[in-house]
Amino acid sequence: MSNSGGALIRGARGLWQARARFSSKSSSSGIPPEGRMSWMLLPTKKVSKSNVEGEGRTAGQSTTDMLTKAGYIYQSSAGIYTLMPLAQRVMQKIELIIDEEMQRVGGQKLAMPNLLTPENWKKTGRWQSTGDELFSFKDRKSAAMLLGPTHEEEVTAIVKDMVRSYRQYPLRLYQTTRKFRDEARPRAGLLRGREFMMKDMYTFDVGKQQAIDTFHAMETAYRRCFGRIGVTYAVADADSGNIGGSLSKEFHFVNQSGEDTLLKCNSCGYTANEERALSKSPVDKAAGAGQNKRYVARVVEGSDGKVVKQRIVEVAHGHEPSVLKIKRVWPIKSNQRLEIAEVVADHDDSSSGTPSIVATIEPLLLDDCAAEACSSSSTSEAVRGDWHVAKAGDGCGECGGVLEAQRAIEVGHIFYLGDKYSKALDLSVLYQGQREYVQMGCFGIGVSRILQAAAECSSVEGRGLRWPLSIAPYLATIVPVAENSGTKAAEEVFSALGSVCVRGAHIFKDNVLVDDRDYLSAGFRLNDAQLMGIPLTIVLGSGFAESGQVEVQLRVPGMQTMPESPSSTSISSDGYEHRARVKVEDLGEFLSQALQSQCVALGMAEVV
Ligand code: ATP
Ligand code: MG
């Protein structure tokens, strides 16, 4: 594209003038086109039920419904969405917070290709092990290609090619790009998409300790990101999954609709994903076989299923065996798989009967820690220990407390990878006379998932969306509803908001939207304002022409009460929404008082 920015803006203004010819409003106001709703592509037809098949709640409106009806997202096909201009603004605000925090810890932003070739994926084994989630296809020369689901292979190859000396480390490289994963069950709009936006950082250090220090620095950066976004979050010990490695944490928005279950100790606060939570095993050693369940874990090889090793593990009654916990101490080669089967009868020592398979694990590349911890012996003696999937009510694995469950949405995941990728792709460094593999970490944030998850966590069913101030597409919307409160009135309030100063910052600059769609009824536009979830709505009714008063509606998550102010008259306040009548000339004073507790969300104070 050869168009310059200036030409683009001039082009937009010309287009705006053309559009204005069809509108009763003049285009010469102080409100720029991008601040006018008549300029934007927004849905004007609101369907009452979700047209998004198989998604969201059955009763009431799901967040996907609300985001669709309010014009944030548009579904193209299962798990694939267009981010409409409003959502794009939310994404930009999330990305800006992430960029600032990544750059604060030395992150350098790059953009890797999404179209990848499989050579490096074959070297790490993920071409073979990723399975159906990988989008792959052939190019015109019949060469295999893939759409990047993650970028460890690519970034490691870049660093191997470009970095020659230990002096060039540490390196912290990141990007925010689309990822492609053919998810088995795409669901809930942007929460689990097949094409989605992710921020992924990859770190490269010389020495294990430096890499672990990097991991901790990144954990702090993540806490700052999520602290600034302002949705209640939890940090959980996690499993490393297919990415491998040994130190891993997940960041979650705590919410009932989440797919994940976290277990949190009511005493020491230890929090982990239930998949990997350590819990004091309730196995009753004194109890007979009726109390505890026995499972046989087998490593099986080849198409005939030859058993290479087997071991019996004992799990407390009412608990399931944990594939992850068994996997962690049992190495499996790429031509092997692990099967876990219940030992049905007491006399069944697993070699005589044919227990039914309850889980099969595909070949995995194991990290060194697991390999060291394993024993290759075959035994039919039951191994007691923490082999179960923990659940609420279990004893905490760290202290004497009790684990409690909470549902959550995973929004970020950080890993210390060690040399898993550097070894497979031969990225080494000569340091103090020794050649060693570079130590890596990877750090992901689900940017598009955050958009929907934040909406989910901050909204209340039946009342529309409600954005956290930190990522709201606009901070305020002006809705002229009375006959005589047209463009002039909107312009006056628009300019009054522009000069509002909260702690020295003009927070409303480029952050105000005017609903000038005069071809829609006042009721429709007021409904839309509520549905869109912009934190501050200013309604220009008949009181504006009579006495210069506007109705202010504040919907800010976490704002329980609105401060009493001599410059306002409260209309209603219910913890979700506060309404008051304010004179235009008092708007500045009123808003800076109302918003002064929101400085972190407004980016004017540090996260503590
Ligand atoms: P999940 O367990 O939810 O599938 P994951 O472990 O596969 O997540 P990572 O590979 O660690 O996820 O990706 C980093 C982040 O990207 C996740 O924490 C999540 O926020 C986001 N993410 C992962 N898969 C999706 C998806 N299908 N749609 C939207 N966001 C996603
Ligand atoms: Mg996944």
Share of the chain above pLDDT 90, in %: 49
Question: Which pTM was predicted?
Answer: 0.85
Q: Which ligand sits closest to the CA of 275?
A: 1
> Pocket of ligand 1, candidates 64, 449, 451: which has the most ligand atoms within 8 Å of its Cβ, to mutate?
449
In a domain, residue 411? The reply is yes
Domain identity same for 310 and 337:
yes
* Model confidence at 364: pLDDT above 50: no
* Model confidence at 241: pLDDT above 90: no
Domain identity same for 422 and 372:
no
Instruction: Answer with the one of 389, 421, 440 that is the final residue of a domain.
Output: 389
Domain identity same for 348 and 333:
yes
CA–CA dist 309, 368 (Å, integer): 19
CATH number at residue 536: 3.40.50.800
* Model confidence at 443: pLDDT above 80: yes
Q: In sequence order, which residues have a C-beta less than 8 Å from that of residue 315 and are 6 or more positions away?
A: 283, 292, 293, 294, 295, 321, 387, 388
Q: How high is the pLDDT of residue 312? A: 81
CATH number at residue 210: 3.30.930.10
List the single range of 46-60, 237-251, 469-483, 499-513 with lowest mean pLDDT: 46-60
Domain identity same for 244 and 294:
no
504: left (phi over 0), alpha (psi -120 to 50) or beta: left
Regarding the beta carbon of 319 and ligand 1, being less than 6 Å apart is answered no
In a domain, residue 535? The reply is yes
Domain identity same for 182 and 99:
yes
Domain identity same for 425 and 532:
no
Centroid of ligand 2 to alpha carbon of 200 (angstroms) = 14
CA–CA dist 404, 264 (Å, integer): 5
- Kindly state the average pLDDT of the residues 143-159: 97
- Kindly state the average pLDDT of the residues 563-591: 85
**Which residue has the least CA distance to atom 14 on ligand 1?**
444
Regarding the beta carbon of 244 and ligand 1, being less than 6 Å apart is answered no
Q: How high is the pLDDT of residue 371? A: 33
427: which DSSP letter? Answer: -
Q: Report pLDDT digits (tens) over 199-230.
A: 999 999 999 999 999 999 999 999 999 999 99
Regarding the beta carbon of 107 and ligand 1, being less than 6 Å apart is answered no
In a domain, residue 84? The reply is no
Q: Which domain holds residue 543?
A: 476-596
In a domain, residue 379? The reply is yes
* Model confidence at 368: pLDDT above 50: no
CA–CA dist 332, 34 (Å, integer): 57
List the single range of 135-139, 264-268, 285-289, 499-503 with lowest mean pLDDT: 285-289
Domain identity same for 194 and 104:
yes
List the single range of 379-388, 453-462, 485-494 with lowest mean pLDDT: 379-388
Centroid of ligand 1 to alpha carbon of 240 (angstroms) = 12
Centroid of ligand 2 to alpha carbon of 184 (angstroms) = 10
Classified as helix, coil or strand, 358 is strand
Beta strands across the sheet bearing 578-583: 512-514, 476-480, 536-540, 549-554, 578-583, 568-573
Q: How high is the pLDDT of residue 233? A: 96
Instruction: Answer with the one of 339, 366, 389 that is the final residue of a domain.
Output: 389
Regarding the beta carbon of 94 and ligand 1, being less than 6 Å apart is answered no
**pLDDT confidence of 354, banded at 50, 70, 90?**
low
In a domain, residue 60? The reply is no
Q: Report pLDDT digits (tens) over 424-438.
A: 999 999 999 999 999
Q: How high is the pLDDT of residue 244? A: 44
Domain identity same for 102 and 215:
yes
- Kindly state the average pLDDT of the residues 345-356: 51
Q: How high is the pLDDT of residue 601? A: 81
Domain identity same for 421 and 507:
no
Q: How high is the pLDDT of residue 103? A: 97
CA–CA dist 173, 518 (Å, integer): 48
Total number of domains in the chain: 3
As a whole number, the mean pLDDT across the chain is 83
In a domain, residue 249? The reply is yes
- Kindly state the average pLDDT of the residues 44-64: 57
In a domain, residue 41? The reply is no
In a domain, residue 79? The reply is no
Domain identity same for 485 and 574:
yes
**Which residue has the least CA distance to atom 24 on ligand 1?**
192
Instruction: Answer with the one of 367, 389, 411 that is the final residue of a domain.
Output: 389
* Model confidence at 250: pLDDT above 80: yes
Domain identity same for 586 and 508:
yes
Domain identity same for 214 and 335:
no
**pLDDT confidence of 360, banded at 50, 70, 90?**
low
Q: Which ligand sits closest to the CA of 195?
A: 1
